[in-house]
Structure 1
Amino acid sequence: MPPRPSRLTALFSSLASFIFGRERDRLKGTLKSRRAFQHIYDRGRRAVGDHVVVFAMPESDEIREAEGAVGIVASRKVG
Structure 2
Amino acid sequence: MGMLDMLTEKVQQEQESLPATYTILQSMNHEHKITRSYVIENGVKLDRLEERVTKIEDDVTILKADVHELKQDVST
Report the TM-score, using the length of structure 1 for normalisation: 0.26
**Higher helix proportion (structure 1 or 2):** 2
Report the TM-score, using the length of structure 2 for normalisation: 0.27
Which structure is richer in relative contact order (CA contacts within 8 A, separation 6 or more)? 1
